[in-house]
Chain A
Amino acid sequence: MTARKLSEIAKTVRSKNAGVDKITFDVIFAERADYDLVRRSGVLSRAAVCRLFGIPESRITDYVEFDPALAIKFTILRSVASGSPGDADIFGSQQYGPLLDLAVPSE
C-alpha cells in the first residue's frame, strides 16, 4: 500500500491561538476527494491526534469536520497560557509542524 504525506494532499495546514488558553488546528483541502480520503483514513481522528502529540483526549476541546471549507479542525487546551514565560509560540502559529509528515494511505 502506498502512502502520501498530508503536506502533499492538503492545501492549508495551520495552527493559531483560539483565545489565550487554546490552540486550534485547521487542515483544509482544495478537492472534495482529498478531504474525504483523509477523513476516511483516520490519520487525523481524535485518537490519532492524541497519539501524535502525546496528549489525553480531554485536552481536545473541539473536533469538527467542516464541509463548506473542506476542512478538518480540532482545538486543544494549552498547557501554558499564551505569552507566559516558557511559552515559545505566543501566536500558536507553528504547532502544526508534526501534522505535515503524517502518512495518508492511498485506498
Chain B
Amino acid sequence: MTAKGLSRRRFTQTLGIVVASFALASRSAFSQTPGALPFSLRNNRKLEGWIRLEPDETVTIFTGKAELGQGILTALAQIAADELDVGLEKIRMVSADTSRGPDEQYTFGSQSIEQSGSAIRAASAEARGILLAASARRFGVRTEDLQVANGTVTSPDGRRATYWEIAKKDPNLLRGDVAATAAPKKPSDYSLVGKSVNRIDLPGKLTGAPSYVQDMRLPGMLFARVLRPPRYGAKLVSLDETAVRSLPGVVAVVRDGNFLAVAAKREEQAIAARDALASAAHWSDDAVPLLDMADLRGGLKKLRAETIVVGATGQSEPVADQAKRVSAEYTRSYLSHASIGPSCAVAWLKDGHITVWSHTQGAFPLRGDLAKALGMQNNQVDVVHMPGAGCYGHNGADDAALDAALVADAVPGTPVKLQWMRDDEFAWAPFGPGMAMGVEAGLASDGRIVDWSYDVWSNSHAMRPGQAGGVNLLAAWDLNTPFAKSPPPHIPQPFGDGDRNAVPSYELPRKEIRNHLLLDTPVRNGSFRTLGAHGNIFAIECFMDELADVAGIDALAFRLLHLRDPRARAVLQAAADKAGWTPGKRGDGRNGRGLAFCRYKSIGMYAAAVVDVEVDRKTGVIKVPRVVMAADIGLVVNPDGAKNQLEGGIVQAVSLTLKEQVTFDRREITSRDWSGYPILTFPEVPRVEVILMDRSEPSLGAGEGSLPPTSAALANAFAHATGRRLRELPMTPERVKASLS
C-alpha cells in the first residue's frame, strides 16, 4: 500500500472517530423565552434539519455553529442528550455544513449556546414529545405513564420500544416543522447539563487523528500556495512565469489581476514555487498611506468619521454641581488573531459544483460570497466546516477558502489544499482595529459621578463575508474584474461594533456616548474577540480608577457606589474577597493590584478581575503573578469547559495588554512573524483562579467576557504599583520605562 493510500484510509476511518468524538464539553448554558421560537429555529423550521435518528441507533444533531476549540459541539451534545433522554455516547454532532445543516449564520459573539443551544433544546424536546406520543399510541397508554431511559420507552406493563424502533414504523415522524410547543425540562431535571464533561474531540486531536482541515487528504490532491502583494495597494506590473512553471512538480500557476497562486504535486514544491513566484513578480510602488505608529491616537482621530450618539441619559437636565472635572484619553493598538496554524482550505470543483472545506466561522455567509466571486449560483457551492487552528474572530479562514477555490477552478476535477504561509497570516488576515477612546466626567463633592462624556474612534470591526453590497474576501478585491468591499453594517447597541461596551453599566445620572466609525481604512480590519469591548472597557475601567483616586475612594467601593445590579455587585465582591482585596492599600513602587468589572455587551456575562503585578523598574518588564476572576454566566452547561474558556481569555488578555501590537511603517505591515508579533509564553503566564457564580438564570456565553476586565485590571495594577498610568496598549517595557523616568 502506498503512503498516500494509507493516509486516505486513515483519514476516512478516523473521520468517524472524530465525528463520534465531537460530543462532550464546554461553556455556559442555554437561554429561552417561554413561548418564543428560538432565534435559530425561525429560519430553520424542519425538525429533521436538527435531529436525525440513525439506523445504528445513534442520534445525529446538526448545528450551524462551528467548533473553534471552544468545545461548543460537546456542550450542544450535552443539551441534546439531556433533553432527548439518550446517553451522550449516542449523540453524533455535525458542524456547520451548507449541504445538510441549519443556517445559523456566524459562530460569533459568545452566542452559540444562547442561539444553537436553545434551538437544539427546543428541537430535542419536540422530538422526544413526538416519539413519546407515538409510543403511547402503540402501547395504548397515556404519554405521561411512559418511562424513558437512554432512548428506550417503557410502558407501565413493561413493554419496551426504542426511539429507533418507533421511528422506523413511521419515517415521517420527525419530518415536520418544529413548533416549539413541547416544554423543555426544568434545570433541576438535567443530568448532563451543569456537569463537567470531557470534550470528546480532544482524544483524537491529542493523538494525531486527522481532525483539522489541514489534515484532509483527497485522491490526487494538489498543494497550493498564494503569493500576495508586498503591501496594500501594490499592483502586479509584470510576471515571467516560465521559470516557475518549469519547477519540479508545478502543475498550475494561477494569475488573475493581482491574485497569484501556484499548485504543485508536493507541498514543499508549492512552497518553492511560491518563492520563485515572488522573485519573478514585479509590483508597482503604490501604497496605502499608513498611520504613524508613534501617534496612533492622533492618526485615528484625523480619519474621516461618521459620528453617532449611541447612548444618552439626562442630557436635557442641567449639569449638576461638580466639585471636580476629570478627563483622559486611551489607545489600543491593532491586534492580530495570531492563529498558531496559518489559514487553510481544501477546494474541489467537480461537474460544475464546488465544495470548499474551511475553518470559517460562517459557512453559509461564506458560500454566498464565494458564489459571487466565482460567478456561480449558491446551489453550485457548498461550504463544509472543518476545524482549524484557534482563531478569535474573523481571521484569514474565509480568504483562504476563496484562494483555494480560485486554484481549484484552474484545475477542474482535482482537489486542492491551500495553506497560507506565516507571513500571509500576519500581514493579510484582518486585524482587530486600533482604537482611540476619550472620556470626561464630573464628580460631585461626595465623590459620585454626575456627568459622563465618552468618545470612541475606530474602524468597523464587522467586515465578515456575507454582507450586502460587495464581497468581503481578500482575493476578490485583487481579481482582474475586482469586487467591491461591502460597506460596514450598522450593529446597534447593546451589541455594538467599535462601540461594544462603550455605554457603561454604571448608574450615571447624565451621560452621552458617541461612536466615531472611521471611514478611511488604512489597514484591513475585522472582528477580533470582543470587538470594541476590549478597548472600551480598558478605557472605562481605567478611568473609573482615575476617578476613584480623585474622589479619594477605594476602587472597589467606588464601583459599588455606582452599581445597582446585584449580579454585578456580586462578581466584584467575590473577586475581591478571593483575591484578598485590601481597601486603601497602596502600591510600593514595584508591586500593585488592580481591579476591573465588565458586563459583556451590557447584556451578557458578568466578570470582575483582580490582577497582581510586579514591575521591574530597570527593565520595564511587568510580571503578572496572579489573576483572580469571578464570572456569572448564568446556568452553566459545562463548568470545566466554561472555566477553560475564561482562563484562556484571561491569559490572552494579559498577552494583548503587555505585548501585542501589529507594527507598520508608513507603507507596509512589518510584524510578519512571531519575532515581530510576540505573544505571552509559558514562563510569563500568570496563575489564574476562576470562580463561577452559582446561578440558575439563562446561560450567557463565556467565550469573550473575561478579556476586557483583565486588561483594564492589569493597567490599574500598574498604576497602583507605580503611581504612573499607562493609557496606551500594549504596556511594553519601553513605555513602562518612559513612564517611570
Tell me if chain B binds chain A: no
B residues apposed to A, CB below 8 Å: none
A residues apposed to B, CB below 8 Å: none
